[in-house]
């Protein structure tokens, strides 16, 4: 009897296992339920996060404002790092030959390199302010002194036209009358009503500028500590990446980091050198042409040249207007000179210094500048090109890897109008592609690169 009962129990367990009604089935259904619950909960959390996106953005910007000295320090350290590396490259071997302790030699070289880099940065800032502030004061003073005379001359010319009874004179009369009425209404209503707001905005702007200067000064101090311990930070970051990811993914992340550093470093340092050369050439050129505001215009053209493609025009437009207020004919000469200078930079100086540091074509450079500028303003225009170059490199690496797995060529030149990949996944070179009459053109050439 017991044997029959045990056999029936075993048979029932087997039937339950086959029908999926046992403990494993319950556990499986429970696991699915938990998965569904987590997916729904994540969707609800994402929905409420979108509703609170403004608050989250405010919190993010608050954190950024608090950490601005650290961010400034990291940026300054990144810019000064090439100077420190060059000092270490030449000074460390010399100190090791004279000092018995290699560690002390490296520390002494690092301290000397950081001191030299910081002194160079402060000297550069002081020199720029020393050139800009007196020139800016002189420009504003000359503008205030010459503007009334220029307006009087313009008024006399308009009076001559006003006295004319021609059709053009009538059009100008109506335009002047309407323009005068609009100006008076604006002065009486908008300007007087908003004078307090303008003063408050001006005060807030001055306070914000002083706050940014204070953050930058703290950032210089932070950059010193970062440069002293940069190898330790790199080692800690590398250790964390290997701990958090698999070896394959960690190596891919580290390779991407090195490539990003190569792209950003080559672009930023190259652009700074290129802009300095353009600023000096602009100073020499407009000095020979005896134009006004030589130093101010040269600095504006050199600084805005850091922005690819659009930078020269961004700096040239206000500079040309400033020169035209003093001498209209020289303003026209300046525009011609800037056009020739940018042709020289775009075709000779820039390619020699920058080379192909970003790997982007002209179209993608313009695309990245417009996209970065539209999303993040001036910083986006400045950093849009190297950032997009990194994204472009990632996408290109993924595409090439997938093509290699399919045993297909990775060069874009192989995918011209006549070449193709057949249904079996074989690459057909254009020399072997069938012609319009259905015959295959027999030429020598590999089916695959």
399-410 pLDDT per residue, tens: 888 888 888 888
State pLDDT tens for residues 89-136: 888 888 888 887 888 888 888 999 999 999 999 998 888 888 777 877
State pLDDT tens for residues 200-214: 677 777 788 888 889
Range in 88-92, 289-293, 374-378 with the lowest mean pLDDT: 374-378
Percent of the chain surpassing pLDDT 90: 11
In eight-state DSSP terms, residue 346 is: I
Which residue has better confidence, 436 or 79?
79
pLDDT at residue 361 above 80? no
pLDDT at residue 151 above 70? no
Q: Return the pLDDT at 11.
A: 58
In 3D, which of 117, 107, 120 has the Cα closest to residue 231?
Answer: 107
Which residue has better confidence, 414 or 76?
76
Spatial distance between the Cα atoms of 429 and 417, rounded to a whole number of angstroms: 10
Q: CB 335: neighbour CB atoms within 10 A?
A: 16
Spatial distance between the Cα atoms of 266 and 233, rounded to a whole number of angstroms: 22
pLDDT at residue 68 above 80? yes
In 3D, which of 264, 354, 265, 269 has the Cα closest to residue 309?
Answer: 354
Q: Return the pLDDT at 2.
A: 44
Q: Return the pLDDT at 343.
A: 84
Range 72-92 average pLDDT: 90
In eight-state DSSP terms, residue 101 is: -
Which residue has better confidence, 211 or 197?
211
pLDDT at residue 437 above 50? no
First to last CA, the chain: 78
Structure tokens at 265: 């470093």
Overall pTM surpassing 0.75 (yes/no): no
* pLDDT category of residue 181 using cuts at 50, 70 and 90: low
Q: Return the pLDDT at 1.
A: 45
Percent of the chain surpassing pLDDT 70: 73
* pLDDT category of residue 308 using cuts at 50, 70 and 90: confident
Return the residue matching tokens 């986006």.
380
């Amino acid at each position: 009897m017991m044997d029959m009962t045990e056999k029936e129990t075993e048979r029932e367990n087997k039937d339950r296992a086959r029908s999926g009604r046992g403990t494993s089935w319950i556990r499986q259904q429970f696991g699915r339920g938990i998965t569904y619950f987590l997916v729904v909960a994540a969707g609800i959390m994402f929905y409420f996060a979108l509703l609170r996106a403004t608050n989250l953005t405010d919190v993010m910007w608050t954190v950024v404002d608090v950490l601005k000295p650290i961010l400034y320090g990291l940026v300054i350290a990144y810019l000064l790092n090439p100077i420190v590396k060059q000092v270490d490259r030449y000074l460390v071997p010399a100190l090791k030959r004279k000092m018995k302790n290699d560690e002390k030699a490296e520390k002494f070289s690092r301290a000397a390199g950081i001191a030299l880099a910081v002194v160079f940065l402060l000297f550069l800032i002081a020199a720029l302010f020393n050139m800009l502030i007196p020139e800016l004061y002189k420009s504003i003073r000359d503008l205030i002194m010459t503007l009334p005379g220029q307006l009087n001359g313009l008024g006399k010319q308009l009076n001559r036209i006003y006295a004319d009874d021609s059709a053009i004179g009538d059009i100008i009369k109506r335009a002047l009358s309407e323009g005068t009425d609009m100006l008076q209404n604006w002065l009486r209503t908008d300007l007087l009503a908003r004078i307090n707001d303008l003063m408050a905005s001006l005060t807030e702007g001055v306070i914000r500028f002083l706050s940014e200067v204070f953050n930058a000064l703290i950032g210089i101090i932070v950059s010193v500590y970062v440069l002293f311990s940069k190898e330790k930070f790199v080692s800690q970051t590398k250790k964390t990446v290997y701990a958090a990811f698999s070896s394959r993914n960690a190596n891919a992340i580290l390779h991407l980091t090195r490539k990003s550093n190569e792209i950003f470093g080559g672009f930023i340092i190259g652009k700074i050198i290129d802009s300095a050369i353009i600023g000096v050439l602009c100073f020499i050129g407009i000095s020979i042409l005896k134009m006004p505001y030589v130093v101010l215009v040269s600095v504006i053209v050199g600084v805005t040249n850091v922005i690819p493609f659009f930078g020269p025009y961004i700096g040239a437009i206000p500079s040309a207007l400033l020169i035209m207020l003093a001498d209209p004919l020289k303003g026209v000469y300046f525009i011609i000179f800037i056009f020739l200078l940018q042709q020289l930079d775009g075709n000779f100086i820039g390619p020699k210094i920058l080379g192909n540091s970003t790997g982007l074509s002209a179209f993608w450079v313009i695309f990245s500048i417009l996209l970065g500028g539209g999303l993040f303003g001036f910083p986006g225009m400045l950093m849009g090109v190297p950032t997009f170059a990194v994204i472009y490199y990632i996408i290109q690496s993924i595409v090439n890897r997938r093509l290699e797995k399919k045993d297909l060529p990775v060069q874009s030149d192989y995918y011209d109008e006549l070449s193709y990949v057949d249904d079996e996944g074989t690459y057909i070179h254009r020399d072997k592609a069938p012609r319009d009459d259905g015959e295959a053109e027999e030429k020598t050439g590999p089916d695959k690169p």
